[in-house]
Amino acid sequence: MNAGAAHNSPGAGMPSVITAADATRMSLNSSLISANLAAYTILVLAAFQWLLIFVSHCVLQRRYVRRRPFVDRPTDDYPGVTIIRPVKGVDHGMQRTLESSFLQEYPGPVEILFAVEDPDDLAIEVISNIIARYPKVQARVLIGKDNVGINPKVNNMLKAFDQAQNDLLWICDSNVYTDPGTLRRSADLLLDNKRLGVIHHVVFSESPTSFAGMLDNAFLVTNHCRMYLAINAFGIASCLMGKSNLYYKSALDNVGGIASFGQYLAEDNMIGQALWHSGWSHTMTGDLARQPADIGSFSEYCSRRIRWVRTRKYN
């Protein structure tokens, strides 16, 4: 056979047969690459978590440990505020949470509107008893339900938005307790910055009554709290929960009004984004939206976490 034939033979130029030792070395190299990628991923995630911890700790020290004092300004400078409390059923500790709206140390006029769907709701009696103890506070119970979308909270609140006498609104869930100075500190921030359009308060879980409640408490006061404070500290996008929010009704009307958000389950997130993109910045005071950790079972806790993820993913 000549040289040309040998050169053109099918086996010419082919690599030699891979031995068992070569296969072992290739497998080890592949495993080392996978291990290195996994290690780098873990390091990046750990660094991200430590960054969140550091930033949230700085925010805690600056905003919550050294909480901002009241601003000394004339009483007439404070705008009227309408507090809207959507209510359905009797929550754990409702007497304390709802009464906190009547105990706000606010110099300006305050109106409190309780929005209830069902005229037979047992919460009406609780609300009426609180109103009777504070005859000097302008407070009313509004009963009825509109149907503007899939969000039951928006459907319940719409009548309160329509009847609110003030442009500045404070939407506060029925199971939320706030300290007496919360409203005034919030208004001080709004008065100091005319482009500030949303004040919100970080959710803080307390008084767990079960193992599931302790899980919820641990989630809200650790990982969730750190993420919430850190993201808002960077201020690169809207990030808020609707447990306790202040904003202007006129600003909300300019982005479609409260009824237009009835099509979303996470109306708080969508309202925050709409106001953010229309030029209204967000911030928080050094106050907490305290809610009791009254989850009764582990399955209820899991359902709540899943619902949170779904409502934010699909809005």
Active-site residue flag, 22: no
3-class DSSP assignment, residue 96: helix
Rounded to the nearest 10 degrees, the angle between the axes of helix 20-59 and helix 223-234 is 70
Annotated catalytic residue, options 173, 188, 216, 268? 268
Distance between CA 221 and CA 213 in Å, rounded?
12
How many helices (H) does the chain have, and how many strands (E)? 11, 7
Tokens of 286: 């050094």
Distance between CA 79 and CA 56 in Å, rounded?
31
Of 205, 168, 179, 200, the C-alpha closest to 100 is 179
Distance between CA 281 and CA 245 in Å, rounded?
13
Looking at the annotation, which residues are catalytic? 268
